[in-house]
Amino acid sequence: MNGAPTGPDAPVLQASRLAVGYRDHAVVAGIDLDVTAGEQVALVGTNGSGKSTVLKTLVGLLEPVGGSLEVLGGRPGSTPTRVAYLGQFHATGFVLPLQVRDVVRMGRFADHGLLGRMGRADREAVDEALARMGIEDLAHRPLRDLSGGQQQRTFLAQVLARRAELLVLDEPTAGIDAAGRERYLTAVADERARGATVIVATHDIAEAALGSQVLLLAGRLVAVGQPTEVLTPDHLLETFGIALRRVGADLVSLEQPHAHDHDHDHGFGRDQADLGHSQDLGSMEFGAIELGGGPEAATPAPPGHLPRLPPPDDPDHDATSGPTSDRRD
Amino acid sequence: MIDLLVGPFRDNSFLAQALVAGVLVAVACAVVGTFVVLRGLAFIGDALAHGVLPGIAGALLLGWPGMVGAVVGAVAMIFGVQAVTKRSRLSSDTAIGLLFVGMLALGVVLVSRSRSFTGDLVGILFGDVLGITTADVWVQLVATVVVCAVTVVCARPFLLLSFDPEMADVAGFRASRYHNVMLVLIAVTVVVSFQTVGTLLVFGMLLAPAGTGALLARRVGSMIAWSAVIGVVSVYVGLLVSYHADIAGGAAIVLVAVAAFFVVLVAQSVRDRRPGRRVPAEARS
């Protein structure tokens, strides 16, 4: 880890009445947040809800438009050697001639400045990061020859190679398969175990539930706090504009009865929370989002059961037994 | 055969001088052109190559060295693009396009005040590689060394910029600062190369060898190396063809460089269509 060590209760991030946005136009305002070392904070919300704007403000890419914000004891962006950031857009097209290892190695640049020599410790950090994301065999493959999921694993390895105190990740599991997601979750747990703090924007509510705090965003701050307090039916309805209930072992959107394609997007699309990765719903603290009224509605899904949406004529689909809403962001 | 390939340079000092200057142009353009291609800066490279025209024309009218005017033109272009982009809601390519045509038109207007309008314009646009002086070679050498040295020092931020400017910022390398350094390098290369290949053709030397390098290389370092080799070979072959066929030297050099790009492109297309050839993963999905 770089820079001054952080103790278990050391403040990593302190925000008070923080407003984030562009050119004095606030996208989200009124954020109060205290994050200590080793915590995982999830930002959940629809596209355009302000998740990426918050993350960019935390790493210093955007100036806060109001309130106060301190990151690792200083202003955002003042400690580049201690922060790793995974954005959403990279030059991965046919032009950029980079091998996977080159991309991961770029994660070590911040520690060495313009001309600092990279040595054995850097090589080891790169090797370890490649192994953690399961892409050692791809190390010398051109990035442009990889699939989207393999590229995303490469970008995650780059973040891990940073060995930073604060990891800020914008939709890190976008496009990666189940095995890649498992490796990512393990890596995040390991990072937290060594004292790093992870702040992640995600559509994956199951991942959000694993964290210590959740911010629900919908172009404003809907709720902030522990997952069990925040991921409630009312908050999710307010955030996503969809009502959820559990039918048997499945989580069901009452707003998307036309959705047929279970295998691809589970009817939620990009603007809704992604429940489709929730392989361990049964073992998670999902009480807060066990929707619907009847006793069967509270039955947790068995481990490994993928939640799915019913077809329109699904006899189990009882539109009268849960809340509905027309509200959408 | 040796006489055919080497004789012209051995027997004509002006041609040998042109070869040295051309090689220096090729190396500078390979280094800068690599990042022009990687970062998609071709349009601003083109605009800079033409934006220097009014500066050169103005300097010639005033009796100053053309290079002084080229520097003024390049600086005006860089600041102009940034000012228009910053103060309007227009995208940078619109700002670049506006200044590009504006500067080009201004350059032509200024040149039209000259009595030798056609000769001056052709000289500026296409250079006079066979009229290179020893002083020109020295200036080109210093510029090439500076371009290479700055690129070595800034290799990490340049690489991060090409990959993701936001990542460069977060890693402590201010993206806007290194973007400006890159623009200055493009400007320097254009300014000192206009005498050799002209403002129009220097753009070809920035793009063609680097574009070919991008097709052949798997890493950025090897892309620069490929670009330099292709650029140098283009200079040599171009000058040789120019001598034997009695055609314009600068244009011959750029034609060879562009031809090399298409030869490699076609060869790769043919190779990729052969049965059993592996298809990249992204092409499958």
Which of A90, A97, A115 shows the shortest C-beta gap to B153?
A: A115
Nearest CA in chain B to A58: B170
B159: contact with A, CB 8 A cutoff = yes
B170: contact with A, CB 8 A cutoff = yes
Question: Which of A141-150, A267-276, B122-131, B254-263 reaches the highest mean pLDDT?
Answer: B254-263
Band of pLDDT at residue A248, cut at 50, 70 and 90: very low
Does position A189 have pLDDT exceeding 60, yes or no? yes
pLDDT for residue B53: 83
**Stronger pLDDT, A222 or A301, i.e. the higher one:** A222
Is A221:A215 a contact under the CB 8 Å cutoff? Answer: yes
Nearest CA in chain B to A90: B164
Is A212:A226 a contact under the CB 8 Å cutoff? Answer: yes
Output the 3-class SS for chain B. Answer: CHHHHHHHHHHCHHHHHHHHHHHHHHHHHHHHHHHHHHCCCHHHHHHHHHHCHHHHHHHHHHCCCHHHHHHHHHHHHHHHHHHHHHHCCCCHHHHHHHHHHHHHHHHHHHHHCCCCHHHHHHHHHHCCHHHCCHHHHHHHHHHHHHHHHHHHHCHHHHHHHHHCHHHHHHCCCCHHHHHHHHHHHHHHHHHHHHHHHHHHHHHHHHHHHHHHHHHHCCCHHHHHHHHHHHHHHHHHHHHHHHHHHCCCHHHHHHHHHHHHHHHHHHHHHHHHHCCCCCCCHHHHC
pLDDT for residue B195: 72
Q: Which residues of A touch B272 (CB under 8 A)?
A: none
For A49, which DSSP code? S
A155: contact with B, CB 8 A cutoff = no
Task: Among A292-306, B9-23, B68-82, B251-265, name the one with the lowest average pLDDT.
Answer: A292-306
Residue A150 to residue B280, Cβ atoms within 8 A: no
pLDDT for residue A301: 35
Which site among A2, A55, A63, A95 would you substitute to test the B interface, given the most B Cβ atoms closer than 10 Å to its Cβ? A95
Does position A300 have pLDDT exceeding 50, yes or no? no
Nearest chain B Cα distance for residue A137, angstroms = 15
Query: Each residue of B246-274: pLDDT tens digit?
Result: 888 888 999 999 999 999 999 999 988 87
A110: contact with B, CB 8 A cutoff = yes
Query: Each residue of B128-168: pLDDT tens digit?
Result: 777 788 888 898 899 999 999 999 999 999 999 998 899 99
Residue A97 to residue B220, Cβ atoms within 8 A: yes
Write down the ipTM of this complex: 0.80
Nearest chain B Cα distance for residue A323, angstroms = 39
What are the backbone angles phi and psi of residue A79, rounded to the nearest 5°? -130, 65
pLDDT for residue A164: 93
Query: Each residue of B44-63: pLDDT tens digit?
Result: 888 888 788 888 888 878 88
CA distance linking residue A196 with residue A194, whole number of Å: 6
A126-135 mean pLDDT: 95
What are the backbone angles phi and psi of residue A33, rounded to the nearest 5°? -155, 135
CA distance linking residue A189 with residue B37, whole number of Å: 40
Band of pLDDT at residue A92, cut at 50, 70 and 90: low
Band of pLDDT at residue A328, cut at 50, 70 and 90: very low
pLDDT for residue A275: 47
